[in-house]
């Protein structure tokens, strides 16, 4: 794959973006960006130096002084132009995303479109950022609130959604009047950089959006930098906990969206065809590399008899390179990820789970070097097994059984993660009870991956989220702004009172 644009230096390393310029890094450490289906090295991601991180933050700090006072209408028009540019370039960026991440072209386009929805929501920042006003809270006294930007914000994004997650972050942050430093995943930053370039083309001024690349050292430098006000993170639980703790210790506002073990509860009255299709798509789509993937199925009562049909659906899915027509499941991101998934499959069998479908050892003609794992289904799983307690992040569905809906709710609520859950039923009463009693942030009723649209907020909970505000929707406007309350009184000569008031009463 050719990489000849201004986004890459002479050594095929992805450039940094600092103060409106794409610049080559001075880093000596580089991470290969590898096509998961072929092992072809597409480019390299440098590990930015401490000086380069400082320069990116300094550019954002300097730009904030003018950007914070840029009229809301100007910011909105930039977002309008950005969404138009993304739509125009969507097929090209999806092709890049598929090459570096592995997901199918259709799923890559979906990755971009779900992020684009947040850009479109950012076009409404004029109403989203409005404060409140109350007249005559006391005699001649009015009180109102202002929602003001907080400064330099940082985004740290994962490999599995290199378009959607960055678009969750920087458009809303800068639409609110902040400036931004983005740290994409070093495994697949190429499509992210294409979107960043479009943001500059849309009119984002120099310094308002900056990009640095790298691993833990760059993350730590951003989390501890004195000029950073807020950090948004999406990724693994281990790194997310580290980011939250380190950033909080250094006085940052932090939101950290982390790991998951999402359950799909199936009642016997559910529509069988719809349910089985939904389970197969949610468990195995994107090779299971979604934080909202349905990785656990809980069959209640007689619905356990549907397992053989579920296995047949899984067998029918085509494993191939994401760029090939008809592919249902592409490769996982790396050889290390493939080894970990296969090791966990072996552990599940060793611990006594029934391996109904084994996805190890898949060979794809023409792509023999690819990181392929086929659909895998376990039955007879209990809550002590590693395949249940750990997030596998691969195309593996573990199946448990429960006698009643009460038992299923208790099982889900006992799991430490609280990202997403789904219930399949045709009973409104069961659905209403489930949504009330389940302790999970995102709930789907006959919807297997209940990611909310952007005018609602992503609301993971418990072990899946640190921080009380979500990464988009109304909550993210609160995250990226601070509230200032103003109490005002204006006098004219006819209303000036005599005497000194030494109480707290306004009169």
Task: Write out the catalytic residue numbers.
Answer: 291
Cβ-contact 116, 87 below 8 angstroms: yes
DSSP letter at 415 equals S
User: In terms of C-beta density within 10 A (0-12 exposed, 13-18 middle, 19 or more buried), how is residue 145 classed?
Assistant: middle
- State phi, psi for 382 to the nearest 5 degrees: -120, 170
DSSP 236: -
Q: What distances in angstroms separate CA 500 from CA 243, 415, 416, one per listed residue?
A: 52, 61, 59
Nearest CA among 493, 21, 468, 472 for reference residue 254: 468
Q: Is residue 166 within a helix (H) or strand (E), and if so which, with residue range?
A: helix 164-175
Residue 73: partners with Cβ closer than 8 Å, 6 or more residues away: 126
**β-bridge mates for residue 16, sequence order:** 23
Task: Go through 125-143 and write b for each residue having 16 or more CB atoms within 10 A of its CB, e for each that does not.
Answer: beebbeeeeeeeeeeeeeb
Q: Tokens 């007689």 belong to which residue?
A: 302
* CA max distance for the chain: 92
Q: Are 259 and 242 in contact (CB under 8 A)?
A: no
Token digits of residue 189: 């930053």
CA distance 198 to 81: 9
Q: Render 189-224 in DSSP notation, one character per residue.
A: -HHHHHHHHHHHHHTPPTTTEEE---SHHHHHHHHH
With the CA atoms of 284, 285, 289 and 291 taken in that order, what torsion angle do they form, in degrees rounded to the nearest 10? Answer: -100
- Token pair in block for residue 55: 């320069």
Q: β-strand 376-379 against 396-402: which pairing, if any?
A: parallel
Q: What is the CA radius of gyration of the chain?
A: 25
Give the number of residues written for the chain: 507
- Which of 456, 492, 36, 422 is closest to 261 using CA atoms? 422
- Helices marked H in 415-454 — which ranges? 428-437
């Amino acid at each position: 794959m050719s990489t000849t644009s201004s986004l890459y230096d002479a050594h095929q390393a992805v450039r940094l973006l600092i103060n409106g310029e794409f610049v080559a890094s001075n880093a000596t450490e580089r991470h290969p960006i590898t096509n998961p289906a072929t092992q072809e090295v597409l480019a390299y991601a440098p590990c930015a130096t401490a000086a380069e991180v400082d320069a990116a933050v300094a550019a954002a700090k300097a730009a904030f002084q003018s950007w914070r006072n840029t009229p809301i209408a100007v910011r909105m028009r930039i977002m309008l132009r950005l969404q138009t540019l993304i739509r125009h370039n969507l097929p090209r960026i999806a092709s890049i995303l598929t090459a570096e991440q592995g997901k199918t072209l259709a799923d890559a386009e979906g990755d971009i479109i779900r992020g684009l929805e947040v850009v479109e929501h950012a076009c409404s920042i004029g109403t989203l950022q409005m404060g409140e006003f109350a007249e005559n809270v006391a005699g001649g006294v009015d009180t109102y609130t202002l929602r003001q930007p907080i400064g330099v914000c940082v985004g740290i994004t994962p490999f599995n959604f290199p378009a959607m997650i960055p678009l969750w972050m920087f458009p809303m942050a800068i639409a609110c009047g902040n400036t931004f430093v983005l740290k994409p995943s070093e495994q697949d930053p190429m499509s992210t950089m294409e979107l960043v370039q479009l943001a500059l083309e849309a009119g984002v001024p120099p310094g308002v959006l900056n990009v640095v690349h790298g691993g833990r050292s760059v993350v730590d430098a951003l989390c501890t930098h004195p000029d950073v006000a807020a950090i948004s993170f999406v990724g693994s639980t281990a790194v997310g906990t580290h980011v939250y703790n380190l950033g909080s210790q250094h006085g940052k506002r932090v939101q950290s969206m982390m790991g998951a073990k999402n359950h799909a509860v199936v009642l016997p009255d559910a529509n069988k065809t719809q349910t089985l299709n939904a389970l197969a798509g949610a468990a195995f789509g994107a090779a299971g590399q979604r934080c909202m993937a349905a990785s656990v199925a809980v069959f209640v009562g007689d619905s356990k008899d549907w397992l053989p049909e579920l296995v047949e659906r899984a067998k029918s899915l085509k494993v191939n390179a994401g760029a090939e027509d008809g592919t249902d499941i592409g490769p996982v991101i790396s050889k290390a990820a493939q080894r970990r998934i296969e090791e966990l499959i072996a552990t599940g069998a060793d611990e006594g789970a029934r391996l109904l479908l084994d996805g190890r050892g898949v060979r794809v003609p023409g792509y023999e070097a690819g990181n392929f794992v086929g659909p895998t289904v376990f039955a007879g799983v209990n809550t002590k097994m590693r395949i249940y307690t750990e997030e596998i992040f691969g195309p593996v569905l573990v199946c448990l059984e429960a006698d009643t809906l009460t038992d299923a709710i208790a099982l889900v609520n006992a799991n430490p993660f609280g990202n997403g859950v789904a219930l399949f039923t045709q009973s409104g009463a069961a659905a209403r009870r489930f949504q009330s009693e389940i302790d999970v942030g995102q709930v789907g009723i006959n919807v297997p991956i209940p990611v909310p649209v952007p005018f609602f907020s992503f609301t993971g909970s418990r072990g899946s989220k640190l921080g009380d505000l979500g990464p988009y929707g109304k909550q993210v406007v609160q995250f990226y702004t601070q509230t200032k309350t103003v109490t005002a009184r204006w006098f004219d000569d006819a209303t000036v009172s005599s005497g000194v008031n030494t109480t707290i009463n306004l009169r």
